[in-house]
Amino acid sequence: MRFRKIVSNNMLMLSYAWKYYKARLLGLFIISIFSAVGALGSVLFPKYAVDYLVTDQPFNKYVFLVLIFMFIFLMNIIINNVFSIVVFQKGDNIIKGNVSRELMKKVPSIDMECYENPDFFDKYTRAVSEAENRVISVLNTVQALLSNLFTLGTLITIMFILSPITITIAIIGVIFPLWANVKNNKLLLEFENSKTHSNRGVGYINRIFYLAQFAKEIRTTSVGGLLLKKHKRFCEKIDVIIKRFTPKIAKNAILGSGLFTLFYNGVASIFIGYGIKEGNLTVGDFAALIAAINIVGNNLISVFNIVPECYKHSLFIENFKTILDYSPKIVNNDNSISLITKTPHSFVINNITFTYSNYDKPILKNLSFRICAGEKVAFVGLNGAGKTTMVKLLERLYDPDEGEILIDSQDLRQIKLESIHNSISTVYQDYQYYALTIAENILMRETQGKEDEDIVWSALERSGLSEKVKNLPKGIYTELTQEFDKEGVMLSGGEIQKLALARMFASDSGIIILDEPSSALDPIAEHEVHQQMIDASDGKTVILISHRLSTTRMVDRIFLFKEGSIHEVGSHNELMDLNGEYAHMFKLQAEKYLP
């Protein structure tokens, strides 16, 4: 990576700090200056103290000298603590929060196919985990650099005045630890990168063991034991990596630090001691120069280490920039138009083919069909037949590789993405709920007044969840889960599915997509919900994906998907008369309910 790129990436983080909390950078400069003053005091104080004590000087002057230096040290402590504890804590919180939100704002525009790309997902994982802390790490690095440079400038001046040759000793002594650090920085980077995959595996399994949705299966099946074994294997892989790298890192560190200590404390002491014997230096000079040489040496090492540290920052910042600079493929065109959100819409699918980026074979092949505005249709078929993939294309989460999708005779790619998503209300098979209020989970935004409250209560009534919510002390303002509120409520699987349906009812979109919307409900509740959905979707375009074929009787037409193509099309009665695969599947399910 070029030097200019390293500087540019680190400057990006500094620009965020300046943008969101300027006092953080100003404080950084002030602390760096006082750090140099403190180092100067720690060198000059022993010099003057020893020289005063070994010569015939009035004791009151010695006391005055001590008071002056104590004042300098005290001011350094006050400045350091005020900025580090008060200013920096507040600033770091503001900066970290804003940088994280920069990343979060970008995430919705990242194409879904990126989640199927392991390399991109690794970068994404690193960016998310590092985003808020990396900017603070860069600030700390810059503070260390400035402190070291100010200190070096101050102490080298003192050394030049007392004994210029000691500057050469300090510089030569730095060679040994620098050699070790250069070797170790390369090893450490490779070490961290080698652990990324296994660390992600450990983190994934750790999450499974504390997330509520996995609790029942962890307790009632043997999957816990399987995951523990996998967790152990991930840890063993990390252990192998540790054993491969750490002995080399330790050997380099010992050699570098050992030679550094011998040179500074040995060669420097002999040379300065000789100067005292010759009468060229005082005993106080000895104390000052030994302290200065060690401080200068350590600061030189720190300055040289900052270069690879900035390089390391830059690598992580590249992950961050990969996300922020990502150019999505699914975007609005210059002449994009909007749909009328609450109006039913028609779809025409013309000869589309689609393959996921990590698949070798197409999921959908040469697919063509039409859905009329206000029509209720069902997608049925075995798992992997392409039903849910077709829905993702209709929502424009992906674009087809070939062919086109028309909505109201307009190419779907010519419609504004926000308009598409506002016009379609989807209850996903893997629907999610959040540690927010019930109202916020239904509206998917903040509640704004009585009109919103009425919408929420109406949606709860239609989904069959209103009685449950009415009995809660805070009603629709009850938090879901106890993640942030100990009085939060935990809903059952069926209740959560009703919540997802309430979300659909509240949206009042012209197109409704139901991906296995009632799989967690009992048969009576399922029938009631389906009837409510049909009643609520009167005049709307409805697409139902279901493996329970009893529900398909309510729709106008059924599309049987098989191996990425439409195999049969018709109403329930027409397909039963056809006596093909749909009829066979329906009869197999019906047998389960017959004596």
pTM of the model: 0.71
Mention every residue, 6+ apart, whose C-beta is less than 8 A from residue 289.
Answer: 159, 162, 163, 166, 268, 272, 281
Residue 361 CB coordination number (10 Å): 9
User: Tens-digit pLDDT profile for the chain (595 aa)?
Assistant: 688 888 888 898 899 999 999 999 999 999 999 999 999 998 888 888 888 888 877 888 888 888 999 999 999 999 989 998 889 999 999 998 898 888 888 888 888 888 877 778 777 777 877 777 888 999 999 999 999 999 999 999 998 988 888 888 888 877 878 788 778 878 888 888 888 888 988 989 998 888 877 887 887 788 888 889 999 999 999 999 999 999 888 988 888 877 777 777 777 788 888 888 888 888 888 888 888 888 888 888 888 778 878 888 888 888 888 888 888 889 998 888 988 878 899 999 999 999 998 888 999 999 999 999 999 999 999 888 999 999 999 999 999 999 999 999 999 999 999 999 989 988 877 778 888 999 999 998 899 989 999 999 999 998 889 999 999 989 999 999 888 888 889 888 778 888 888 888 888 889 999 887 666 566 666 666 666 677 767 788 999 988 777 778 888 999 999 999 999 999 999 999 999 999 999 888 877 655 5
Residue 17: helix, strand or coil by DSSP? helix
Q: For residue 441, which of 493, 389, 497, 395 has the smallest C-alpha distance? A: 497
Measured in residues, the chain has a length of 595
Q: For residue 399, which of 357, 453, 359, 455 has the smallest C-alpha distance? A: 357
> How many helices, marked H, and strands, marked E, lie in the chain?
19, 10
Longest dimension (CA), the chain: 120
Concatenated DSSP letters of 405-458: EEETTEEGGGB-HHHHHHHEEEE-TT----SSBHHHHHHSS---SHHHHHHHHH
Terminal CA-CA length for the chain: 73
Give CA 207 to chain center in angstroms. 15
Q: For residue 43, which of 304, 299, 306, 301 has the smallest C-alpha distance? A: 299
pLDDT at 298: 84
Q: Where are the beta strands (DSSP E) in 253-392?
A: 347-354, 364-371, 376-381
The amino acid that residue 315 corresponds to is L
Angle (nearest 5°) at CA 435 between 431 and 440: 75
Which DSSP helix (H) or strand (E) runs through 247? helix 223-262
pLDDT at 138: 92
pLDDT at 493: 77
The rounded distance, in Å, linking the Cα atoms of 134 and 357 is 31
Tell me whether residue 390 is exposed, middle or buried, using C-beta atoms within 10 angstroms of its C-beta: 0 to 12, 13 to 18, 19 or more: buried
Which DSSP helix (H) or strand (E) runs through 515? strand 511-515
Mention every residue, 6+ apart, whose C-beta is less than 8 A from residue 276.
Answer: 282, 283, 285, 286
pLDDT at 19: 92
Task: Return the bridge partners of 380, or none.
Answer: 560
The rounded distance, in Å, linking the Cα atoms of 593 and 501 is 26
Q: CA 571 → CA 176, 368, 388, 447, distances in Å?
A: 82, 18, 20, 41
Mention every residue, 6+ apart, whose C-beta is less than 8 A from residue 343.
Answer: 373, 423, 510
Which DSSP helix (H) or strand (E) runs through 565? strand 565-570
Task: Return the bridge partners of 353, or none.
Answer: 402
The rounded distance, in Å, linking the Cα atoms of 28 and 80 is 10
